[in-house]
Every structure is written in structure tokens, then in C-alpha cells.
Structure 1
């Protein structure tokens, strides 16, 4: 168990004299955050009916703390930072009396990226143990907290609230964050009740005395205290790691969003009003995210299905300096660039560009990047855009530059492929090992992402869709 007091787990409802903040159990308020995404995605168009519920929302002014030196906005995508606060104020005190007077932490940080045009959305999770460079922030009492070369990301919320988290994530991703939504866990049980329960799938019987979860293996629909116990459990399911738990909770949030976006909820005014009241009573946003702005976002995303709502953890792995912590991997910056450059309108073809469609282009993909699994991921992106793809495996040696080579009769096909690669490598004829009619893509370490003419972010390794079967991979 990590001894850092910022490394919080659930805090049992135990005697405050016996409960230790370093060994307790953290409650995940971020399941509530899923409803914030759902609110944006569909229900807000009924603004007039739910105006009273919007009156429950609290607001904070973060502009002064963020300052003028922020990333530029490159397109019409919307980025909303979703935060789960573990505050023990008010009714939340029952879930850890020993922490009642401590400053709140945020162990849940999800960047909700809404693609231009409203057709797709992605929730990007930032692990609480991620070690980052922390920029200078203003504390809650107005003090200036100096920048830190190395700090755990969930300390940003304790240092300076939502504004400090926004500033920290913007500094490491260079993605402009438009708004934030912050939720505590007090409304969680009400939300799961309001949607009529959330489906889950257990791979084995669970009887965990700490979380008080006691269920048989198989499918269940849970709500209230049982749902709360499910999101609390750690050692009773999986391998006990926080990474494993994040994946399970992403599936839960997807199932919650899928349920909330179903016709049975959206078309039932009484159930929807109950859901809105439950969600907004524990919701805080920036001042600019007014009900009117939320309504416009909702209208723009009215046609989005749950299959277009995806969840992924930011590319990360064990921190070389401390294996109990997490660090961004080399795949993180290319992924951030993909998010920054997300577009929906395809670029107009240049004069003289090849007219051969992707469906008539055969591509072999070789990995010369030094990143494990890169050829497979690039192949899946190409297949998603209609190319005929095979994975060639690892290249004989690594390369800093992505290359496109072609066999006899495939020069125009190579041009079609090059038009989809941001670095625009000059295609060359392959003299040895070529296959007639086939284009070879050698993915170098400079690989960013494939252009996506359909808009949105290409499929990511390990992503979870809200529409996925809850028993998938269980």
C-alpha cells in the first residue's frame, strides 16, 4: 500500500478513531460524472421543463486563475473537464468521518471530448497516480503555490480546485479546456435509482466485507447502496490494481450512460426530472457553462447514440522513477495531437490527387516506431477507413520517419494512402520485397495519427463503448 496521503482509496464508514486515511477505501464520485455527459448529450433540450433542476447547479469563476496563456482552440470541438470530488461535507461525511475536516481531493479526472458536429464523444481518464509537472496555481485561500517539477496529478484539485486541474491538464496536453463539471458522490445513489438501476456482469461470486458487496456471478441490475458498494470494491474483484478498477468503472459509467440515454428514460418526463434533480444537486461548473450553453451543446448532440460515446485511459504506464506511480508513455503526445486536431469536415482534395478509393488500396503495415503494438493499431485505423490491410509485423530496424513504399502498379494507390498521413511522406518504389499492387506503410517514431475524413478520433487501443455488452471481457 502506498504511504503517500494523496493516494486515497475508499474510506469505510467506521469509527473515526480507528479509520486511517492511508488505509481506507476511496469512494468514486466519478460515476456521477457520467450523468453530466448524458445531460450534455441529450436531455438538455428540454430546458424549459427542467429549468428548476438547473437552478440546483453551483458555479465558480476560474478565468482569473487560468490567466491568458492558454492553448489555442483549433476547431469547434468541445472539451469539458469532469471532476469527482471526495469532499466529506454535509451528507457526504458518512463515507469517511475521519476525513471530514480535510481538504477535498479529486481522484477522478476525465476530459470529455465532444467532436465537432456532435456525432461522437470520448471520455479520457487521467489516473490519480499520474506524475506530472505541476504549474503554479492559486490556492483556495488566494496563496500562490509554486510550480513543481514532479507531483501527483490528483494533488492539483487539493492545491487550487478545478482551475488548477484545468491548468495542469492543459499544460501537459496542450488541449484547450472549455468548461468543467464537478460532482461529489452524495448524489450517486439517487442517480442510479433515477435511471432504474445499472446493468453489470460479475465474473465470479463476490462477498467483500469492506465494500459490503455480496452478489453471485453473472448479470445484475444494481442501484442505490448496492451500486455504491460495486464502485467501491477493489480487492474483491480483478487483480486489485487501480488500473484494473479504472477499466471496470469505465464499463459501469458506459452502462450508466447507455441506460440514461435509452428511450425509457429520455421519453419519461417523471424519470427524467428525477434524474436531472439527482445529477444537478451535486454539480458545480464554471460560470460560462450556463444552462443556455448546456442546452445548445445538447441540441448539437441530439443524434448521438451510446455507441458513439467511448472511454479510454490516457496512454500511460508504470513510472520508471517509482513503480507505484504512473507516467505518460511516448504514445501520449500523438494521442493528444489527435484530440487537438479532431475535425468532421474532410479536406478538399488537391488538384491532381488520386481518385482511387481506400477500398481499392491494399496496404501492408510494418512497425518501425519501437512502440509495441503500433502496427496493429494503425492497421485497425486503416481498416476503419476502408483500406484492405495486413500486418507485416516489425520492420528490420526502427526508423524516426514514417515511409510509404509501393510495388509494381501501386503508385496511385500509394498517393491515396499518403493523402491520409499528416507528415505527407514521399512514396517511393520498393526495389526488394515488394508485392505487385500493394503499398507498404513503415510506421516510424514520428507517427502522429491517421487523418480521419469522417471526423472524430480513430479507434484507440483498450477503449470501451457505452453500448458494449457489460459481460464483454468480464
Structure 2
């Protein structure tokens, strides 16, 4: 890590380190989206397919919506990305329930890729976390007032992607270099194109709401089953969102291993099908608006294996006023964010004593 003075690092929610800007920094999503990006490596052989794949990409302009009141942009070779999975019930996603009050961020991960792009830390933010949501601007340009003790996932509901990014930046003091949203239906199709994802369950998982029924053992999950797994909540651990996060993190690692191991670069037909599904599954910010950008980003992450990804959940405790909600353990959460700011691994002490949802080890 580049050596820096204390003053250059800054402190609090409105500051960050100054980075030395490289000639051209490739940016993009990670984990599901990052693994998907790996699928377009070797894309020079696709040639004519570039235009079609480019046309698949739909983007959102986060920077224009947020303006200048953000943590400082830093250039130390690290990268911070907010990955959201939306629970919108619009379009093909209607099969997963009614749309009650608009879309919310069902899954939220802050992904920090360390300098050198050989390792990454991932912080999952429980959707039921009570936060002080800042004022923001919605997708139509209308002002949205801030709110104290608001559930984290309401930021996306009331203000869209930009409000979700602003809320994370307010919590962490870290500027998000990028944003990517993952769609339910696109997620399923991507897993099916991949040929499934292999996971091992140590206990039975039966969840009527997510339509998942798995006995203990090893399973090759198709897209429908994979979506059921990452949405399962009531049937694992203590039934909270914290238990579901444990399943999501285990699945993401299995997904990355699968992508790394299938050797799609020697099979142009398989490569194209995966690239087509991947570009339809994600909505990144507008700075990742072409296959060329995606390829550049993927090459920068090709050295990260699943074993090099450290996943934690934001340290929280159950809210004394409402046991169905959680609140951050402020001192420990600050340790997490400061480690990412300084491009250091998250210390084990930061998550000690945090509520877990009691679902550890259900999926391996």
C-alpha cells in the first residue's frame, strides 16, 4: 500500500485519501458482476458480437445525480464498488411476489478490491439495518428528505440507485467508485448458462417462500434453485436477514469458483452465451457502458480467486426497540470502514460479538 500521511487520509464521512490517478482506470462491478465480467475475457474473438453485447448494457448515471457532496475520490490502486440486488417485482420478476410500495435493495455488498487487485474484502449490509438516511434526489430529479432510523433498503425504494450510494457513502465515509445492480431474472439465466453452481449443504433447507427444498449434501443448483437459496430467510438460522446473508456469501464464493473453473475461453459459443446473459443481468453505472470497459475491468481482477475474497457482515446488534431490526455496533463498524479506507484487511476483532443470524456453515 502506498504510504500516506494522516492528514491526506482524512477522517469522517466526508473525506477520503487522495489517489494518484492512473492513465486509465478500469472500473466495474464485482462478485456476481465481476465474475460475470470474467466471462468476456478473450472477447476479441467475438468480433461481430460486440455491438449486440454493448446494446444489452443499461446503465445509470450515479455521478450526475450525486454531484460534488461526496467523500473524496482516491487513487491508491484500490477500488470500492456497491453491489445491490433489487427485489423489484416488475416485469418478469413478478413471479416472486407483488410489488408493495416499490423496489428495495434485497442484497447490498460493499466490495473493496485491494491495491494490486490480488485480494478483496466484502462487507454485506443487512437490509433491515436502521440508519440515518441522508437527503437525496430521486430518479426523476425530485428531492427526497432524509430520515433517522430508516431501514437501509428504503434508500433505494425512495431515491433509486443514487440514494442507495449516498446512504452507503454517508455510513462509511468511503466514495463508491462504482455501482452495479443485479436483476432477479437475469441472475437465474446467468446461472443456467453457466451450467449451474455446485454447493454443499450441511443441513436440510426447506423454504416455502423461496420454493427451495434441499437435503444435506452436494447439489448442482440451477438458476431457479440458486435464486431460491440467496433469497431464503425464514428456514435458516434465526430466520433473520443475517442468516440469509450467510447463504449469499457462501453462494458468491461458489459462483466465483465455478466461473474460474469451466474454461469458457476455449469455447466461443459458450463464452458468447455467458457474456450475453451477464450483460443482461446487470445494470452498472454509466462509466461501465461498453464491453471494452468490462473486458478491461475483468483483466484487472483475473488474479483474484475465491480464496482471496474475505467476506464479513457489517457488525450489528438487534435493535432494543424492535427485535426485527438491527443497528450498527458503531465502534466496530468504524473499524471495518477505516480498514477499507486505509486499504488494510478487516481485523477479526471488528466482527467479534456481532449478531450473525446463526446460519454459519449451512452452505459450503
TM-score category, normalised to shorter length:
0.7 to 0.9
TM-score normalised over the length of structure 1: 0.62
Distance 1:206 1:70 in 2: 42
Q: Is the 8 A contact 2:231 2:244 kept in 1?
A: no
| SS of the residue 1:331 aligns to | helix
Aligned to 1:402: none
Aligned residue among 30, 42, 45 for 1:46: 42
Aligned mates of 2:248, 2:212 — CA distance in 1: 15
Question: What is the 5 A alignment of 1:73-472?
Answer: 73-74=73-74, 75-96=76-97, 98-99=98-99, 102-291=101-290, 292-329=292-329, 330-342=331-343, 457=346
Find the residue that maps to 2:225 and give its secondary structure: helix
Report deviation, 1:308. 1.0
- The corresponding residue for 2:14 is none
Higher relative contact order (CA 8 A, sep 6+): 2
- Gap runs ≥5 in structure 2: 1-28, 353-359
Query: What is the distance in 2 between the residues matched to 1:459 and 1:266?
Result: 37
1:244 to partner: Cα distance: 1.5
Counterpart secondary structure, 2:179: strand
Q: Could you report, residue by residue, the CA deviation over 1:386-421 in whole angstroms, capped at 9, with x for unpaired residues?
A: xxxxxxxxxxxxxxxxxxxxxxxxxxxxxxxxxxxx
Deviation track 1:140-195 (CA, whole Å, cap 9, x = no partner) reads 33221122232111000011111001111111111010111112101122122122
Contact 2:315 2:350 in 1 (8 A): no
User: Does residue 36 of the first structure (1) align with residue 33 of the second (2)?
Assistant: yes
Cα distance change, pair 237–268 in 1 and its aligned pair in 2 (3 A): farther
Residue 9 (structure 2) aligns with: none
Task: Go from structure 1 to structure 2 and tell me whether the alpha carbon gap of 1:120 and 1:207 turns closer, same or farther (over 3 Å shift).
Answer: closer
Task: Tell me the alpha carbon deviations over residues 192-212 of structure 1, each in whole angstroms, 9 at most, x when there is no partner.
Answer: 212221122223344444333
Per-residue Cα deviation, 1:4-25 (whole angstroms, up to 9, x for no partner): xxxxxxxxxxxxxxxxxxxxxx
2:182 alignment partner, SS class: strand
Distance in 1, Cα, partners of 2:106 & 2:349: 23
Greater mean alpha carbon deviation, residues 123-132 or residues 101-110: 101-110
Q: Which residue of 1 aligns with 2:4?
A: none
- Paired positions, count: 322
How far, CA to CA, are the matches of 2:349 and 2:262 in structure 1?
28
CA gap 1:152/1:215 in 2 versus in 1, 3 angstroms: closer
What secondary structure is seen at the aligned counterpart in 2 of 1:55? helix
Q: Indicate how the Cα distance of structure 1 residues 236 and 184 shifts in structure 2: closer, same or farther if over 3 A, else same.
A: same
Q: Which has the larger radius of gyration?
A: 1
Distance 1:157 1:123 in 2: 20
Relative to structure 1, the CA distance from residue 144 to residue 208 in structure 2 (aligned partners, 3 Å threshold; closer, same or farther) is closer
Question: Is the Cα–Cα contact under 8 Å of residues 201 and 362 in structure 2 kept in the other structure?
Answer: no
Q: Contact (CA 8 Å) 1:196, 1:223: kept in 2 or not? A: yes
In structure 2, the CA distance between the partners of 1:331 and 1:208, relative to structure 1 (3 Å rule), is closer
User: What is the TM-score with the length of structure 2 in the denominator?
Assistant: 0.80
Aligned-residue Cα RMSD (Å) equals: 2.6
Equivalent residues of 1:206, 1:213 under 8 A apart: yes
Inter-CA distance 43–278: structure 2 relative to 1 (3 Å threshold): closer
Q: Is the 8 A contact 2:41 2:265 kept in 1?
A: no
Contact 2:78 2:114 in 1 (8 A): yes
Q: Is the 2:138–2:162 Cα contact (8 Å) retained in structure 1?
A: no
Per-residue CA deviations over 1:405-457 (Å, capped at 9, x if unaligned) read xxxxxxxxxxxxxxxxxxxxxxxxxxxxxxxxxxxxxxxxxxxxxxx6xxx55
Residues 261 and 306, structure 1, Cα contact 8 Å, conserved in 2: no
Structure 1 or 2: larger helix share?
2
Deviation at 1:123, TM superposition (A): 2.2
The Cα of 1:68 is off from its aligned counterpart by: 0.7
- CA distance in 2 between counterparts of 1:249 and 1:341 reads 26
